[in-house]
Amino acid sequence: MAQIPVGEPYDAAVVGAGVMGATTALFLARGGMRCALIDAGGVCREASGVNAGTLTLHMTRAALIPYAMRGWEMWKAAPDWLGGDPGVTVTDGLSLAFTAQEAALLEARVEARRAQGAPIEIIATSRARAIEPGLTDRFRLAAHCPMDGYVTANLTGMAYRRALVEAGVRLYENAPVTGIEAGDGGFRLAMAGAAPRARRLVLASGVWLEEMLAWFGLRIRIKALVNQLIVTERLRPVMRSVLGVASGLLSLKQFANGTVLIGGGWQGKGDRARRTTEIVPDNLIGNLRLARYVVPALAETRIVRSWLGFEAETDDALPIAGPLGGIPEAYVIGCVHSGYMSGPYFGRLLAQNILGQAPELPLFDADRLLVAPSCT
Partner 1 sequence: MTRDPEILILGAGPAGLGAALALATCGVEALIVDSGSAAGGQVYRPLPGAFEPGDASGLGPDYREGERQRRLLADSGAGTAFGRLVWSIGTDLRVDALGPEGPESWRPKGIVAAAGATERVVPFPGWTLPGVMGLAAATILLKSQCVLPGERVLVAGCGPLLFAVANAIRKGGGQVVAVADLAGPGAWLHALPALLGQPRDLLRGASWMARLRAQGVPLLFRHGVREARAAGAGLEVSLGAVDAAGRPIPSASEKTLEADSLVVGHGLIPATEAVRLLGAEVVFDADAGGWVPRLDRDQRSSRAGLYAAGDGAGVRGAAAAFLAGRIAGMTAALDLGRIDAGHHARATAPLRRRLARARRFGRAMARLMAQRPGQVDGIAGDTVVCRCEDVTRAEVEAALERGAADVNQLKSWTRCGMGPCQGRMCGDTVGQIVAARTGSREAAGAWTARAPLRPLGVDALAGDFDYADIPLPAAAPL
Size of the site for partner 1 (CB under 8 A): 61
Q: Which is nearer to partner 1, 81 or 293 (CB)?
A: 293
Exactly one of 21, 134, 149, 265 binds partner 1 (CB under 8 A); which one?
265
Judged by CB under 8 A, the chain residues 24 through 83 that form the site for partner 1 are: 42, 45, 49, 59, 61-62
The conformational region for residue 350 under phi > 0 = left, psi -120 to 50 = alpha, else beta, is: alpha
* β partners of residue 141: 97
Tell me which DSSP letter residue 59 carries: S
Specify the pairing of strand 10-15 against strand 197-203: parallel
Least Å from the CB of residue 116 to partner 1: 11
User: Among 25, 169, 177, 290, which residue interacts with partner 1 (rule: CB under 8 A)?
Assistant: 290
Q: State the nearest-atom distance from the C-beta of 46 to partner 1, in Å.
A: 12
Q: CB–CB of 122/80 below 8 Å?
A: no
Report the alpha-carbon distance of residue 190 to residue 15 in Å, rounded.
12
Q: Which of 280, 295, 296, 266 is nearest to 94 (CA)?
A: 295
By CB under 8 A, residue 303 contacts partner 1: yes
Q: Is the dihedral of CA 253, 101, 138, 282 positive or negative?
A: positive
Neighbours of 255 (CB within 10 A): 15
DSSP letter, residue 295: S
Rule CB under 8 A: is residue 224 a binding residue for partner 1? no
Contact characters 137-166, partner 1, x per CB under 8 A? -x---------------xx-xx--xx--x-
Of the residues 23, 24, 91, 232, which one makes contact with partner 1 according to CB under 8 A: 232
Written as one string, the DSSP assignment of 267-290 is B-EEETTTTEEE--HHHHHHHHHH
Choose one: 10-18, 66-74, 123-131, 290-298; the region binding partner 1 (CB under 8 A): 290-298
DSSP letter, residue 40: S
Binding residues (CB under 8 A) for partner 1: these are 42, 45, 49, 59, 61-62, 98-99, 105, 108-109, 112, 138, 154-155, 157-158, 161-162, 165, 173-174, 232-233, 246-249, 257, 265-267, 269, 276, 278-286, 288-293, 298-307, 317, 337
